[in-house]
Amino acid sequence: MSIVLDSPSTSCPDCGAILPAGSGALLCPVCVLLEDAEELPPLPSYTLLGEIARGGMGVVYRARQERLRRVVAVKILPGAAFSSQEFRQRFQREAETAASLNHPNIVAIHEIGELLGQPFIAMELVEGLSLGERLQRDRLTPEFSAHIIRQVARAVAHAHERGVIHRDLKPSNILLRDEMEPMLTDFGLARFTQTGHTLTRSAQSLGSPGYLPPERVGLHEGSPAMAEDVYGLGAVLYHCLTGRPPFVADSVAALLAATEMQEPVAPRLLNPSIPLDLQTICLRCLEKKPASRYASAQEVADELDRFLRGDSILARPVSTWARVFRRAQRQSVLAALSST
């Protein structure tokens, strides 16, 4: 899928959330959530105990499911009457997608419902920080990073086997049970490869720019969708190892341009303690051409398993000369574009 932004994305002046390009004076969806959070109707069979988190796709509460006497997480889309049809469709798709999966490293969905036009999802409550919150402290050790991404890769492989692509892998979508075991959540941008169901191609459906594969920006149109998640696994591994995403920039437009045209800085230049084999795995996932990455999430998991066992990995590092050649190729493309 090729996506072109008509104009640079802007930020909401009130909450700072990134707004879709060309959104003009439309209401910020996050601000709508904030305004309506206090007006929630009571949910049948649930007692809300307190807010856990909020974002562009909803507000998550700790809740008690009275009939089963268990504590769960409930995700609610407040102000549904003010939300666009697209917004509500994304919320419903997230629930349907995640509910079809059953894996120890994927957050389980218990119930999908709607009350007076108010959609909600009751799901497994994962006690602990998100990987994004954990990374705000400091970067992880190489071995712990490899463990986390190996488990997430196994969860992603499970989803792929059932025709589901996550499409928004990032640290905030990985919860850490007891700060050790990763749990993958938030399939709000997921796509079913077998049924052809897909979400809109607006700027809002881009995903998270810092972890976005280049084919979602415009390169390699028509590439296999599973390769997007392989790139996402590499991007999250890169962040775990170095303390930052593969590309950073001052604006969304500059970030997307870097994703499309630049090579990521080798992780060992940012953190010399990273083993060469782990860097090789990471950069293999981040190859610009989807066909040059690992063929599947399961291959990523298997490769990380070899690393953790101390066995030789299958991938070989890209030579310095090859990287210089790639950089020269992209510079020539940029020069040609700037002259037209």
Question: Which amino acids are annotated catalytic?
Answer: 168
Q: Which two tokens stand for residue 100?
A: 């079809």
3-class DSSP assignment, residue 15: coil
Rounded to a whole number of angstroms, the CA Rg of the chain reads: 20
279: number of CA atoms within 13 Å, CB side? 17
Q: Which two tokens stand for residue 224?
A: 């296999």
Distance CA 165, CA 327 (A): 30
Distance CA 40, CA 12 (A): 24
3-class DSSP assignment, residue 336: helix
Which neighbouring-strand residues pair with 60? 53, 75
Distance CA 126, CA 110 (A): 13
> Is residue 17 within 8 Å of residue 33, measured between CB atoms?
no
Long-range contacts of 65-69 (CB under 8 A, 24+ apart): 65/110, 65/122
